[in-house]
Structure 1
Amino acid sequence: MFFRHIFASLLIIFATFSYADDSMMFSELEFPNTEGDTVNMTDYKGKVVLLNFWATWCPPCVKEMPSMQRLKERYADDGFEIVAINAGEEPDVVDAFLLQLDTELTFPILLDQKGVSFIALGIKGLPMSFLLNKEGRSVMTFMGGREWDEKAQTDLIEAELAK
């Protein structure tokens, strides 16, 4: 009985620590944008955020970008933002890539040249995205590319926006 009580207490402490730690990790992310200005994820507190990790050499990453832009436009006035963090590439490579896209992206593109986010967030591949609630906590993790403006994704986003 005594050990069961200690085990239950440790589980509660661990769950609380993990939950707080998740928010702390995302809020501590800070990278330059394509203009060289530093952007911190705390700038988006109070918004639902789709945090996307991508690279120019990743076909599924490139394929999902137009649907991300449509999603951004659809929820632009609803407290929603997309932040796309490029993983490990030089700014000139990212800039050249963005100029070649058929769709102009109006959401922030940040540069994680050293791949810090891979270690901090345990990113296992690209693209990888996190849906963050208004408090900056991850409510869903997505591996692989998708059409972001399809119903399955918009239902999740709308549910978070309604909270």
Structure 2
Amino acid sequence: MGRVQQGLLSTGLWQPQLSAPKAAGRTASASDNFNLLLLPLNQPGPAVPLSQLRGKVIFLNIWASWCPPCVAEMPDIVRLAKRTNPDSVAFVLLSLDQNPEKARRFLSRRGITVPAYSPGSPLPTAYQTAGIPATFIISPAGKIIGSHEGMAKYDTPEILGLLRRWQKQK
């Protein structure tokens, strides 16, 4: 199913429609948006508070290894990550797998090295969604500047341009 959805994504028909946070009911303060502890899945090291990424544009994708649309959009997110500067844009793949080891094996099998994590604390209200995949683009100050629920093609000139514009606004 994931391969079929990857083929559909490659047509370019599933462009993300980034919605404004207030339209989605996400009105928490920017500092509340950083209250999340990240447990590394595919890189060594201790837990990382999301607040440690303050000052960077954050591309936060909420996914699970058992979710075909999540699996389908993952290669596209990896391509986008390779086109950005990691000093100013942080990619956070946040797995909702109940068993973090399943997510680790999935990432290893696919050769995905974009930083992936499990939540080490409850998700802030701003990131709670009705379904996955869900993606949030967060400004260097912690404000959600766009979000999209559902599968989408992210490796586009529009999304890359958005990330680059915001990385200049520290």
Normalising by the smaller structure, the TM-score range is: 0.7 to 0.9
Q: Does residue 1:146 correspond to 2:155, yes or no?
A: no
The question of whether the paired residues in 2 share the 8 Å contact of 1:23 and 1:135 is answered with: yes
Deviations 1:58-85 (A, max 9, x none): 1111111111111111112561111011
Q: Does residue 1:31 correspond to 2:38, yes or no?
A: yes
Query: Could you say what secondary structure the match of 2:58 adopts?
Result: strand
The question of whether the paired residues in 2 share the 8 Å contact of 1:39 and 1:110 is answered with: no
- Kindly tell me: are residues 135 and 118 of structure 1, through their superposed partners in 2, closer, same or farther at Cα, counting changes over 3 Å? closer
Letter in 2 for 1:74: R
Pairs within 5 Å for 1:1-163: 21-34=28-41, 35=44, 37-77=46-86, 79-101=88-110, 104-112=111-119, 116-117=122-123, 121-163=127-169
The question of whether the paired residues in 1 share the 8 Å contact of 2:34 and 2:50 is answered with: yes
Deviation at 1:156, TM superposition (A): 2.0
- Kindly tell me: are residues 111 and 128 of structure 1, through their superposed partners in 2, closer, same or farther at Cα, counting changes over 3 Å? same
- Kindly tell me: are residues 112 and 19 of structure 1, through their superposed partners in 2, closer, same or farther at Cα, counting changes over 3 Å? closer
RMSD: 2.6
Letter in 1 for 2:64: A
- Kindly tell me: are residues 37 and 151 of structure 1, through their superposed partners in 2, closer, same or farther at Cα, counting changes over 3 Å? same
Tell me, in whole angstroms, the C-alpha distance in 2 between the residues paired with 1:22 and 1:67.
30
* Identical pairs, percent: 26
Letter in 2 for 1:62: V
State the TM-score, normalized to the length of structure 2.
Answer: 0.74
Tell me, in whole angstroms, the C-alpha distance in 2 between the residues paired with 1:157 and 1:109.
19
Letter in 2 for 1:134: P
Deviates most, 134-143 or 118-127: 118-127
Tell me, in whole angstroms, the C-alpha distance in 1 between the residues paired with 2:98 and 2:77.
20
Tell me, in whole angstroms, the C-alpha distance in 1 between the residues paired with 2:124 and 2:66.
16
Tell me, in whole angstroms, the C-alpha distance in 1 between the residues paired with 2:160 and 2:116.
21
State the TM-score, normalized to the length of structure 1.
Answer: 0.77
Letter in 1 for 2:54: K
Q: How many residue pairs end up in the alignment?
A: 144
